[in-house]
């Protein structure tokens, strides 16, 4: 049986938009959200939390959520069509809190479309206050080779403890 990923993607976007309309804190708030906008092109989605929540809201198994986002080009895959599997060093700009996160990079267009078409947002969400530790930039640039790289504003040196 053929899987209609376009239909599933629409269901996922609708469910995400409805969930955002009900609870805007699910997106873009460091320390509270399942996905955060890093730059105009990418969100950082916490793994597995984002897929579990989105699957619940859309009544789609989390594995199928991930598969759909991969097959539709919304989940960023690096060289060899692999996910970025290393924990990411991040920090919250406002508090300086440092974290190690298991996360994926998602195309901002997918989430921004969900919040504007189905979530009542007047436009795409702004960039969040989450930053990637600067020391990871060479490795992340290699991961994004062949596609739009993360913008410089995603990276910063964490404050000293």
List the chain pLDDT tens, one digit each, 161 residues: 789 999 999 999 999 999 999 999 999 999 899 999 999 999 999 999 999 999 999 999 999 999 999 999 999 999 989 999 999 999 998 888 899 999 999 999 999 999 999 999 999 999 999 999 999 999 999 999 989 999 999 999 877 65
Tell me what pLDDT residue 92 has.
92
Instruction: Considering only CA atoms, give the Rg of the chain.
Output: 15
Task: Report if residue 158 sits inside a domain.
Answer: no
Q: Are strands 98-101 and 130-133 parallel, antiparallel or unpaired?
A: unpaired
If one counts the domains in the chain, the total is 1
Tell me what pLDDT residue 85 has.
92
Contact 2, 104 (CB under 8 A): no
Tell me what pLDDT residue 1 has.
79
Contact 104, 45 (CB under 8 A): yes
Task: Report if residue 154 sits inside a domain.
Answer: no
Tell me what pLDDT residue 161 has.
57
CB atoms within 10 A of CB 57: 20
- Domain range for 111 is 5-146
Task: Report if residue 52 sits inside a domain.
Answer: yes
Task: Report if residue 17 sits inside a domain.
Answer: yes
Q: Are strands 103-107 and 130-133 parallel, antiparallel or unpaired?
A: unpaired
Task: Report if residue 152 sits inside a domain.
Answer: no
Task: Report if residue 161 sits inside a domain.
Answer: no
Task: Report if residue 159 sits inside a domain.
Answer: no
Exposed, middle or buried, 26 (CB in 10 Å: 0-12/13-18/19+)? buried
Counting other chains too, the contacts that 121-127 makes at CB distance below 8 Å and 24 or more residues apart are 121/20, 124/40, 125/27, 125/28, 125/37, 126/28, 126/37, 127/37, 127/38, 127/39, 127/40, 127/153
Task: Report if residue 156 sits inside a domain.
Answer: no
């Amino acid at each position: 049986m053929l899987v209609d990923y376009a239909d599933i993607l629409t269901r996922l976007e609708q469910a995400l938009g409805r969930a955002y309309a009900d609870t805007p804190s699910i997106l873009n708030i460091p320390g509270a959200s399942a996905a955060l906008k890093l730059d105009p092109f990418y969100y950082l989605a916490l793994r597995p939390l984002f897929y579990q929540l989105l699957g619940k809201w859309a009544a789609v198994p989390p594995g199928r959520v991930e598969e759909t986002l991969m097959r539709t080009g919304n989940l960023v895959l690096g060289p060899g069509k692999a996910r970025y599997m290393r924990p990411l060093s991040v920090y919250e700009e406002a508090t300086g809190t440092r974290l190690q996160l298991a996360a994926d990079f998602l195309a901002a267009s997918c989430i921004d479309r969900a919040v504007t078409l189905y979530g009542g947002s007047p436009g795409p969400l702004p960039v969040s206050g989450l930053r990637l530790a600067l020391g990871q930039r060479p490795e992340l640039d290699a991961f994004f080779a062949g596609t739009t790289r993360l913008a410089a504003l995603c990276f910063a040196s964490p404050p000293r403890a």
